[in-house]
Amino acid sequence: MERTTRQKTAIQAAIESAQRPLSAQEILEQASLQVTQLGIATVYRNLKSLVLEEKVHVVTLPGENPRYESNTAANHHHHHFQCTTCQRVFDVHDCPGDLKRMAPQGFVVERHELTLYGRCADCNAAAGAAVPAAVTTAHACASGHDPA
Amino acid sequence: MERTTRQKTAIQAAIESAQRPLSAQEILEQASLQVTQLGIATVYRNLKSLVLEEKVHVVTLPGENPRYESNTAANHHHHHFQCTTCQRVFDVHDCPGDLKRMAPQGFVVERHELTLYGRCADCNAAAGAAVPAAVTTAHACASGHDPA
DNA sequence: CTACGTGCAAAAAGTTTGCAATCGC
DNA sequence: GCGATTGCAAACTTTTTGCACGTAG
pLDDT tens digits for B82-106? 888 777 777 888 888 777 788 888 8
List of chain B residues whose C-beta atoms are within 8 Å of the C-beta of residue A123: none
- Measure A1 CA to C4 C1' (Å): 7
List of chain A residues whose C-beta atoms are within 8 Å of the C-beta of residue B147: 102, 104
Nucleotides of D under 7 A from a protein CB: 4-10, 14-18, 23-25
Quick check: B69 and A66 in contact, CB under 8 A? no
Residue B81 DSSP symbol: E
Q: Give DSSP secondary structure letters for A109-131.
A: EEEEEEEEEEE-HHHHHHT-S-S
**Cα-to-chain-centroid distance, residue B107:** 29
CA pair distance B5, B11, nearest whole angstrom: 10
User: Å from A6 to nearest chain B CA?
Assistant: 29
The mean pLDDT value for A2-8 works out to 92
Say which residue, A8 or A77, is predicted with more confidence.
A8
Closest CA to A71 of A87, A52, A44: A52
User: Å from B68 to nearest chain A CA?
Assistant: 13
Indicate the range of B44-53, B63-72, B120-129 predicted with least confidence.
B120-129
- Measure B5 CA to C23 C1' (Å): 9
CA pair distance A87, A109, nearest whole angstrom: 30
CA pair distance B59, A78, nearest whole angstrom: 22
Q: Name the nt closest to B25 by C-alpha to C1'.
A: C14
> Model confidence at B41, in pLDDT bands (50, 70, 90)?
very high
| Mean of pLDDT over chain B | 80
> Model confidence at B127, in pLDDT bands (50, 70, 90)?
low
Q: Which residue is nearest to nucleotide C8 (CA to C1')?
A: A39
Residue B102 has a pLDDT of 85
CA atoms within 13 A on the CB side of B101: 8
Residue B33 has a pLDDT of 95
- Measure B89 CA to D9 C1' (Å): 35
> Model confidence at A113, in pLDDT bands (50, 70, 90)?
confident
Tell me if B100 and A141 make a contact (CB, 8 A cut-off). Answer: no
Indicate the range of A122-126, B59-63, B87-91, B133-137 predicted with least confidence.
B133-137
Residue B103 has a pLDDT of 83
pLDDT tens digits for A42-99? 999 999 999 998 899 898 887 889 999 998 644 678 888 888 887 778 888 888 877 8
User: What region, left, alpha or beta, does residue B137 occupy, with left being phi > 0 and alpha being psi -120 to 50 degrees?
Assistant: alpha
At B108 the three-state DSSP class reads strand
Say which residue, B16 or A75, is predicted with more confidence.
B16
List of chain B residues whose C-beta atoms are within 8 Å of the C-beta of residue A99: 96, 114, 116
Residue A86 DSSP symbol: T
Nucleotides of C under 7 A from a protein CB: 4-10, 14-18, 23-25
| Mean of pLDDT over chain A | 80
Q: Which residue is nearest to nucleotide D23 (CA to C1')?
A: A5
- Measure A92 CA to C14 C1' (Å): 31
Tell me if B107 and A117 make a contact (CB, 8 A cut-off). Answer: no
The mean pLDDT value for A10-27 works out to 92
**A110: nearest CA in chain B?**
B118
The residues, ordered by sequence, that sit 6+ positions from A122 with a Cβ below 8 Å of its Cβ are A83, A86
